[in-house]
Every structure is written in structure tokens, then in C-alpha cells.
Amino acid sequence: MAVNMETRDYSLTGPRNKQAQELGIASAEWYASPIPRQRMKELMKRKDGPAIRDTIIWFAILGILGYLAYLSWGTWWAIPAFAAYGAVYALPGNSRWHEASHGTMFKTGWMNEVIYQIASFMNLFPATPWRWSHVRHHTDTYIVGRDPEIHAPRPPVWRVLLGELFHVYGGIADLRRIFLHAFGKMDKEEMDYIPASEFKKCYWEARVWILIFIAVIAACIYAGSILPAMFVVLPTFYGFWAVMLIAWTQHLGLNDDVLDHRLNTRTVYMNPVIRFLYCNMNYHIEHHMFPMVPYHALPALHEEMKADCPKPSPSVYAALKEIFAALRKQRKDPTYTIVRPLPSTARPYRYGPAPYGTVIQQDELIVKKAE
Amino acid sequence: MATWIETVEIDEIDTEDVVRFDHGDETYALYRNAKGDCFATAGHCTHEKVHLADGLVMGNIIECPKHNGRIDFTTGEAKRAPICEAIKTYPVKIEGGKLFIQID
């Protein structure tokens, strides 16, 4: 049974927003794996120690790589040196932004806020707008017309997807919004998920950021070189490949318009170095199902719920291979999604009300894949 | 007219924890803080329709399980975005080891 994809409009201002609400898949109740309350309370427990340690290590590595990059400037060694600096600037910057936005990184509230503001700037993610964008992403994960953080539509647009390796589209869109906010205006899409009471905060944050941009430009003019911008602002772009190669594994190739994170989110086994840089967000089904659990407890949460989830992808490479094979198929058949069977110990998938009046069952999807 | 309704045995709520209590069409969240004092609020978060009883109690704060917004359950005051709106609180009393809440 094919799903009608003709009317797909991923914008938040288009008809799909209202349709999702009418179908009952917006702000809906999602499936949650059964975990005893006592165990969940242990897993949710907040700590300052792991995040203080990890933040010191991250900034120390960034400082060392930055110094090596500085020494290499003007030589060919600058290319690998800045590639490494950019990756360690952007990927942990993105994952710290994310964890602090949930308020789960540190136990102490102001520490979350300080890291949130710093990491937001490092990502060039306007702090307050992106806080609300991510709230919506968790409310309506991959619900078309509702989620502002869908990485690629179906069918995918290669130009945009690959351009994001250097943050060409998202970065420029955020810069445009920063200038818009600085002049006291909001983007129409943002008005769908940011309450009006937060607009003023968005405007003032944007004005402060513009002052920082001016300071960086002034430093470049004074130095007669782009070197100062190579350490702040530009790494968000030239280092973003590290963010995207990992972040693509979160949801791409899987279902949308469902109410079960096991269907639209992927957990991937990654090595300890990437898990450190990425704040354990490779346990992404676990994170989406239980966003209260801090990053340092996600491996333990994974052990608790893996019997209820599809088998994790064994590596980043395996996940990307699966994703790009699926995206190629989606170019021809936008209804195609990766099917991941559940173990016999798991509860059945919860699809929720199907969009367009079409009921999609797992056995039908398996037949579809076999064809 | 305000009515007192019997909810749960006080021992059913751990200290620094919350439980869900449904009555008629309404749902409530019943709390005990670290001192053992009891409190009651509406059961759903004011930001989205999520049961606060699945959240985390820290001091006098309940953190919503879905978006990590925070509320002071002793006053109902919103303490962290995305929760912006105060939640309704209910008077409580303990009689015979049971927790009663006064509803409208």
C-alpha cells in the first residue's frame, strides 16, 4: 500500500502543520519502553562532576589544537591543523549546546546556562530560538510540517544535504535570522514555535552577537589577516562536516509521521572518542524516549532498554552506508524507509494514526522492502 | 464547592518523588519533598499534555519528563522554559496515613 507523498510540504507555515494537528500526530503521546520507576530515578539523577571534567578536557584539547593551528598558519600544515581544530570546535560545541539546552549536562542550573550560551555561539545557533526549535523537535520528532529540525525531506535534495557539510544552507539561514532579530523582526516559521513572550530576548541576543561579529571583523582588519576569524565564527562552517557526518545518523532514512522513536530514530555504536565529543548522543533512541536522562547515564539506559529496541547500527560507517542507500532509493520512491525488525523481547511498534488515511503496518513495509 | 478527596497512602510516595493520581476525568501529581512534606498540583505540564508524575523531583522542583521545563510544586510557579505558565496547586492534608487533596 503506497503512501501519498504528493502533498508533502516540510515548511511549518504550510498545510501539513494543520493536517498533523487534525490527524492527532502533533503534540501527541509517544511510545515509551517500560523501565521501573526506581531505576529511572537513578538514571535521571543529575551530577556536576562528569560535565565539569569533560568541559575542561574539551577546552584543553581545543586550546592545544588551536595553538598548533596558529603555529602552522602560512604553511600547508595549516590544512590538517585547522581541520582538526574545526572538528573539535564544532562537534562538541554542537553536542554541548544540545545537552545544555535540555538542562541535563550539569546539576547546577547556571553552569548549564553558561555552556548553553557559549556553545550556541560556537554553533551560530541563536540561543533562544534554537532552544524553542529543539523543544518542538522533541514534541513532534520528524512530524512533517511540525518539526523544524528535519535534516532532509523525502525525496532528499543532494545539494542542500551535502552543502550542510560546510553549513552552507543552515548557517546562512541562521545568520539571516540573527540580522532579522537584531532589527526586531521574527521569521514566520519561528513564530510557530517561539512564544511571543520570548521575542525580546531573541532580539537582544542577536544584537550582542552582531557586536561580537564586529569585534572579530575588527580584529581581522587590525591583524591584516582572516586568522582571528579562523578561531571563532569560521570554524562553525569549515568544521561542520564533523557535526553532520554524525548527526545524519540520528534520523535519516527512517520513518516520519509516527509516534514511536524506535521507528524514526537510530542508535549507533560509536567509539569512546566520538562518544566523548558527541556527549553519548549516539544513544539517540534512548535520548528521545527519555530526554530527562543526562548524557553520562545514556550507556546505562541503553542496557536497560535494548531488549525493546531494534538492533543498533554497529558503526558510523555502517549507519551512513545504510542511510545513503536509503536516500538514493527515496529519490525514486519517496515512500521508501528503512525497516528495522524488533527483537522478540520487544513490544510492537506504535505507528500512531497514519497520515492521509493510510495505515502502514510493519509487515507491509517488510514486503515493500523485499520487493 | 471545594471537596476533600482521598488519594493514596502516604507511604506510597517516596521522599523526593511524585506519583500520579487520577480522579474522574482529572489527573493530579502528588509530591513529597526531601523533608517529607506533601504537595499536589494538576497532573499535566502546562506546556504540553505530559504527565509530570514521570518527571524528576529535585528539592521543591519537578522537571517535566518531555522537555525538561521546571515548576516549583510548592507554589505552582514556572521556573524554567519551555514552561512559562504557572500550574494549579491544591491544598493537602494527611489523615490516618492517607493523603487528601482539596479540589474545586
Q: What is the pLDDT, as a whole number, of residue A365?
A: 45
**Which residues of chain B are within 8 Å of residue A103 when distances are taken between CB atoms?**
63, 68, 70, 80
Nearest Cα to Cα of residue A247 among A314, A151, A153: A151
Taking the CA of residue B3 and the nearest CA in chain A, the distance in Å comes to: 30
Residue A199's SS3 state is helix
Taking an 8 Å cut-off on Cβ atoms, the answer to whether B67 and A41 are in contact is no
The DSSP output letter for A79 is H
Q: What is the mean pLDDT of chain A?
A: 93
Let me know: does A178 contact A126? Beta carbons within 8 Å.
yes
The confidence score (pLDDT) of residue A351 equals 86
Q: Give which of A256, A328, A362, A329 is closest to A8, Cα–Cα.
A: A256
Residue that the C-alpha cell 591543523 belongs to: A81
Q: Say yes or no to pLDDT of B87 above 90.
A: yes
- Mark yes or no for CB contact B58/A46 under 8 Å: yes
Q: For residue A302, how far is the Cα from the chain centroid? A: 19
Nearest to A103 among B17, B54, B68 (CB): B68
Is A118 inside any structural domain?
A: yes
A198 within a domain of the structure (yes/no)? yes
Chain B contact set for A21 (CB, 8 A): none
Enclosing domain of residue A237: 47-257
Residue ranges of chain A with pLDDT lower than 50? 1-3, 356-371
Contacts of B49 in chain A (CB under 8 A): 27, 29
- The ipTM estimated for the assembled molecules is 0.88
Could you tell me if residue A280 is inside a domain?
Answer: no
- pLDDT at position A350 is 87
Q: Specify if A63 maps to a domain.
A: yes
CA distance B67 to chain A (A): 6
Nearest 5°: phi and psi at A203? -65, -45
Tell me what pLDDT residue A209 has. Answer: 97
Look at residue A221 and tell me if it is in a domain. yes
The pLDDT assigned to A3 comes to 47
Task: Identify whether the C-beta of residue B91 lies closer than 8 Å to the C-beta of residue B74.
Answer: no
The count of residues in chain A is 371
- pLDDT of amino acid A128: 97
Of B48, B68, B84, the CB nearest to A27: B48
Q: Which domains does chain B have, with CATH numbers?
A: 3-103 (2.102.10.10)
A211 located within any domain = yes
Altogether, the residues listed in chain B come to a count of 104
Res A354: pLDDT: 61
pLDDT at A231: 98
Number of compact structural domains in chain A? 1
Task: Tell me whether residue A52 is in a domain.
Answer: yes
Cross-chain CB nearest to B66 (options A40, A138, A198): A138
- Contact criterion met (CB below 8 Å) for A180 and A187: yes
Residue A362: per-residue pLDDT? 47
Residue A310 domain-assigned?
Answer: no
The pLDDT score that the predictor gives to residue A7 is 56
Whether B49 sits inside 8 A of A103 (CB atoms) is: no
